[in-house]
């Protein structure tokens, strides 16, 4: 199977790359159109890189556990090889002024691309106005080391679950 393709096409990964993954998966008939929404939802619900989760689920749908492993392997092997090669050669060429200049240019492009990714995420996350201060609160708590990010996630997870529980009780 050509899961390796997945690892090579997903620049930056994440939500921006989902359409590309979808097109590849449909082309190879690993999944059907109707499965896609479920896969996207679950990829985002679970922790970890969205693209890897997506590969995991696509593999699982088409070949079960073996498919999962193959898809994940295909997704992560090309990037790992490339990074390793870069890391091997990089330390030595890192001090060349030419490389430094190129990196500075690339950093600016990367920053703009990431801003775009953040913007997409923000539009997705902030469905209602009162959600904005909540994000800002978690930003402040984590930025000033008032609470470890893990603690923030755990607490907010518990709060969300209990709020949902209370809401459900009221409806009954």
Q: Could you say whether residue 101 binds another protein (CB under 8 A)?
A: yes
Which of 22, 26, 44, 63 forms a contact with another protein (CB under 8 A)? 44
How many residues bind another protein (CB under 8 A)? The answer is 91
What is the rounded CA–CA span in Å between residue 163 and residue 66?
39
Q: Work out how close the CB of 137 gets to another protein at its nearest, in angstroms, rounded to a whole number.
A: 7
Site for another protein in 58-77 (CB under 8 A): 60, 65, 68, 72, 75-76
Which of 1, 2, 27, 41 forms a contact with another protein (CB under 8 A)? 41
Site for another protein in 124-153 (CB under 8 A): 124-127, 131, 134-140, 142-143, 149-150, 152-153
Residue 35 CB partners (closer than 8 Å, separation 6+): 61
What is the rounded CA–CA span in Å between residue 36 and residue 41?
9
Site for another protein in 1-20 (CB under 8 A): 7-16, 20
Question: Is the four-CA dihedral 113, 119, 122, 123 of positive or negative sign?
Answer: negative
Which of 92, 108, 166, 169 forms a contact with another protein (CB under 8 A)? 108
What is the rounded CA–CA span in Å between residue 41 and residue 110?
27
Task: Provide the 8-state DSSP code for 144.
Answer: T
């Amino acid at each position: 199977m050509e899961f390796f393709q997945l690892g090579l096409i997903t620049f930056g990964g994440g939500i921006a790359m989902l359409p590309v993954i979808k097109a590849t998966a449909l082309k190879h008939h690993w999944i059907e159109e109707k499965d896609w929404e479920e896969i996207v939802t679950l990829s985002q619900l679970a922790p970890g890189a969205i693209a890897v989760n997506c590969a995991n689920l696509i593999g699982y749908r088409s070949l079960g556990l073996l498919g999962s492993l193959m898809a994940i392997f295909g997704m992560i092997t090309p990037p790992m090889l490339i990074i390793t090669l870069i890391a091997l050669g990089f330390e030595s060429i890192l001090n060349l002024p030419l490389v430094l200049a190129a990196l500075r240019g690339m950093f600016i492009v990367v920053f703009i691309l990431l801003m775009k990714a953040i913007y997409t995420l923000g539009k997705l996350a902030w469905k209602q106005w009162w959600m904005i201060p909540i994000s800002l609160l978690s930003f402040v708590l984590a930025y000033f080391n008032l609470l470890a990010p893990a603690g923030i996630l755990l607490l907010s997870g518990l709060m969300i679950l209990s709020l949902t529980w209370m809401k459900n009780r009221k409806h009954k």
